[in-house]
Amino acid sequence: MSTALFNLLAYKMDDAPSRVGIVVGKRFGNAVRRNRAKRVFRELVRDSYSELALGRGVLIFPKKDVLLSSRKDLVQAWKTSLQHMRLLRPDGA
């Protein structure tokens, strides 16, 4: 799935806990910008990890605009993407 702020790729694994990877290439910018983007997404994942469905692998590819956007917009895009890709646990789980 692609948004204005990031691309998201998900795949199914066994029933192991979900794993999340953040991929930021050198095209993104210097090390400071790359590390900041990774920190932003680590925080998003940390806040929503308990809601992720089991047995999923998720790869996040941040886009340059992520550093210019507000936290509110980023959280909204993140939650919407997870729901759209059915990566959240059902309500009863």
pLDDT tens digit sequence for 59-80: 999 999 999 999 999 999 999 9
Q: Which CATH class is domain 6-84?
A: alpha beta
Cα distances from 6 to residues 38, 61, 81, 93, in angstroms, run 12, 6, 10, 28
pTM above 0.85, yes or no: yes
> Which segments within the chain are labelled E, that is strand?
6-12, 19-22, 56-62
Q: Where in the chain are the domains?
A: 6-84
- Cβ proximity of 19 and 60 under 8 Å: no
Mean residue pLDDT of the chain comes to: 91
CA distance 1 to 34: 21
